[in-house]
Chains A and B, each alone.
Chain A
């Protein structure tokens, strides 16, 4: 499990064809940051696209020559001999449009104004991302992916691929995902957005010009997010009621270990993540609903799909619960599409999809081995 793709470097693709968003907004030109691992075969049939979740980016696997500690966010899953095997597949990770890791986003300079887009960056949807990813695929000479894979918000993109471009994806792996967010889930996102929007340093999204960052809002948003990504049991196991100083201090400083952990995570995140990107990502989550224009009929939404599916959920994930994955499975069964569904017993809540787990990894490995054999046949 220690094999790594080794030293990797990010690449940049520029697109001059205007992209019309679902909202009607038009982005005249844009850039996407991406990384690739493995080798594209002669038939160009072994490509896999990895779609990232809320805070992810293009650096999926390996490390950088100038910083060996900067390891890709899914390095345990992607690499030579790993479940997403770079000896067999040509794997692409990208930073989504609207992101803050090099692809065109709110913190990029708008060539029309010479200033960062800020609040002017259009609200983006999962459909828009898939459109931009399809253009990246074309740019790389890939007409059809062997698989599109994603967890959480990334799983939504993977599913949307099967709906937007049924002929361009053979397998969809939707992990810890949902066919749309519930009201409770949107509510969490709204609290996170409110924390950012009400931070005095946010300046309606144009904080760049003021030389400040809405750190307090971002930190709160991330702290809330973290609570929902973990399970009650995992938090109890990891932190319990442990006190940092071993005694009660009768004040409002950080006393419990869980408080210390959340603030640390919040501070770390606020130091590098863009507040406007956070708003966009949560909106994309809220808006995703392929059945919306079909009277909520998910069966009809999936009637366009031709791909084969692997749907995976985790027992302690309450933010994207197994029941939500079963809704996806139900719609796929209705359409008589090939689907396998694995419900992984895991302690780590929504974060499980990023963790090592023997059963999860064998399911992924076995499934992708079949995908590779089918490509070789």
Chain B
């Protein structure tokens, strides 16, 4: 199962690479619990997920993953300050309404935050806009009228928000088509994973 999960979600491997053995992890919007299960099996983490969908709650429980049924934007208030080593938000940031408040909550609850999101500045997205349409791709599979993604951003935009919130970026991993991207990431990367903490 581990190898197939990593193939379908390359950001999981990037996230796991940052997480030491035995860490405590809170995964916001944890889906069916695949990431937490992967982290438990490979990193022996103690983890909890937050998830809203009924089907995913049942799936997490079947995956033997701790899951709390709650809206992730209001549900995170139930967690205490600095109660986790890592708070993860994977491919969900762009669909949150109160994105700024949520970023603050992530660094309040977690000693570190890890966020992955689709890069709106990816050249294929830029090209589609240039040609006159909102981008539709593997990472952004929705039409403009049915997309849950209300807060799309580029890597530069995200880093600007971090600076604005006094959040220090500790690491960045940019990918396109499952490959790592090093040169001109804001143009050539389709997905990014960031690791950060509150700058104190």
Chain A: residues with CB nearer than 8 A to chain B?
Answer: 310, 326, 329-330, 333-334, 336, 338-345, 359, 362-363, 366-367, 369-370
- Taking the closest CB of chain A, its distance from the CB of B136, in whole angstroms, is 32
**Knowing that A333-B68, A341-B69 are A-B contacts, what are 6 other residue pairs whose CB atoms are under 8 Å apart, sorted by A's residue number?**
A330-B78, A333-B83, A334-B83, A339-B48, A343-B70, A345-B54
CA distance A341 to B64 in the complex (A): 13
Chain A contacts of B70 at CB under 8 A?
341, 343
Q: Is the interface of A mostly helix, strand, loop or mixed?
A: helix
Residue pair B61, A366 in contact (C-beta under 8 Å): yes
A366 contact from B58, B68, B79, Cβ within 8 A: B58
Chain A contacts of B62 at CB under 8 A?
366, 369-370
> Count of A-B contacts with CB under 8 A?
53
| Chain A CB within 8 A of B104 CB | no
What are some 30 contacts across the A-B interface (CB < 8 A)? A310-B61, A329-B68, A330-B78, A333-B48, A333-B68, A333-B80, A333-B83, A336-B24, A336-B46, A340-B57, A340-B60, A340-B61, A340-B65, A340-B66, A340-B67, A341-B67, A341-B69, A342-B61, A343-B69, A344-B54, A345-B54, A359-B54, A359-B58, A362-B58, A363-B57, A363-B58, A366-B61, A367-B61, A369-B62, A370-B62
CA distance A98 to B64 in the complex (A): 38
CA distance A333 to B69 in the complex (A): 13
- Taking the closest CB of chain A, its distance from the CB of B66, in whole angstroms, is 5
CA distance A149 to B132 in the complex (A): 59
CA distance A307 to B193 in the complex (A): 35
A363 contact from B24, B46, B61, B79, Cβ within 8 A: B61
Chain B contacts of A342 at CB under 8 A?
57, 61, 69
Chain A contacts of B61 at CB under 8 A?
310, 340, 342, 363, 366-367, 370
Q: Which residues 56-115 in B have Cβ within 8 Å of A in the complex? A: 57-62, 64-70, 78-80, 83
Chain A contacts of B79 at CB under 8 A?
333
Q: Which residue of B lies closest to A299 (CB)?
A: B80
A339 contact from B24, B54, B59, B68, Cβ within 8 A: B68
- Taking the closest CB of chain A, its distance from the CB of B74, in whole angstroms, is 11
- Taking the closest CB of chain A, its distance from the CB of B21, in whole angstroms, is 17
Q: Which residues 151-192 in B have Cβ within 8 Å of A in the complex? A: none
Q: Which residue of B lies closest to A371 (CB)?
A: B64
- Taking the closest CB of chain A, its distance from the CB of B46, in whole angstroms, is 7
Q: Which residue of A lies closest to B62 (CB)?
A: A366
CA distance A338 to B57 in the complex (A): 15
Q: Which residue of A lies closest to B69 (CB)?
A: A343
- Taking the closest CB of chain A, its distance from the CB of B171, in whole angstroms, is 26
CA distance A340 to B68 in the complex (A): 5
CA distance A363 to B56 in the complex (A): 10
CA distance A342 to B55 in the complex (A): 11
Residue pair A329, B78 in contact (C-beta under 8 Å): yes
Q: Which residue of B lies closest to A329 (CB)?
A: B68
Q: Which residue of B lies closest to A309 (CB)?
A: B66
B64 contact from A329, A330, A339, A370, Cβ within 8 A: A370
CA distance A344 to B58 in the complex (A): 11
CA distance A370 to B79 in the complex (A): 26
Chain B contacts of A359 at CB under 8 A?
54, 57-58
